[in-house]
Amino acid sequence: MSEFKHISVQDVADNMSAYRIVDIRDPNSFTMGHMPDAIPLNNDNFGAFVQQTDRAQPVVVVCYHGISSQQAATVIANQGFAEVYSMDGGFEAWKQTQPVVTD
């Protein structure tokens, strides 16, 4: 079983371009606000994500509070991705100090 790592909001913000950011919150929440360059990830597009994403690029998984993202990060890591992170505090922590994009 592959392992994920934890990463802080500040570490992601400091080097955003290095990460593929996936948001596992529900579609309505994503539309109302998400991290810049984040993509929504759910059961419907998971297979395409795995096939189309470079497994060498670090992936950061974001949920509401950093709890659900841990399980999702494990699933992604088990697909052969080299570096997978769960962002501590989730989107709720991100929006306290960082920019939010709305669709």
Q: Which residues are catalytic?
A: 63
- Alpha-carbon distance of 101 to 19, in angstroms, equals 17
Beta-strand relationship, 84-87 and 5-7: parallel
CA distance 53 to 13: 21
Kindly report the number of other CB atoms within 10 A of residue 64's CB atom: 17
Quote the CA–CA distance of 86 and 69 in Å, as a whole number. Answer: 6
